[in-house]
Amino acid sequence: MSDSFKAACRVSSYGSSMLIDARLDVIGLVVADMATSLAFYRRLGLDLSAEADEQPHVEVTVPGGLRLAFDSEEVIRSFAPDWQPPDRAGRVSLAFRVDGPQDVDAAYAELVGAGYHGERVPWDAFWGQRYAVLHDPHGNTVDLFAPLDGG
């Protein structure tokens, strides 16, 4: 357990249950091909060096301080030898906000035009956002969105 997690993890009581005072710090993705994955996320504006393509573990800090980590399947198998990748997309998605509704359409068109899988073309969602859904090279859901009202 990292020291930063230990420092943020304090237990307090709430009724009959215990609450852990923790903060989300890293979202991790397991990838079969690091270079292919990083190329996709570079198109979404993440600052990932070319040298990272050859690394088994890569992290990038996004605005707000959250880190996105990429681990090769080999890294996962180094501590979980029987691990197998899921045979279909998982239940987690990463949502990237863009400046405006037209930018959702443009980003979706650019990524699909570059060969990435478009799952749902942009639409005006009932919750007040322009929204689109893609998959990254390993089947993870990636959403693009912007408020319809400019806010």
DSSP state letters, 50-79: GGGGG-SEEEEEPTTS-EEEEEEHHHHHHH
Domains of the chain: 1-83 (3.10.180.10), 90-151 (3.10.180.10)
* pTM score, whole prediction: 0.79
pLDDT for residue 9 is more than 80:
no
The number of residues making up the chain comes to: 151
Nearby residues of 82 by Cβ (< 8 Å), 6 or more positions away: none
Residue 16 has pLDDT above 60, yes or no: no
Average pLDDT, the chain: 87
Contact 26, 68 (CB under 8 A): yes
pLDDT tens for 72-111 read 999 999 998 999 888 876 668 899 999 999 999 999 999 9
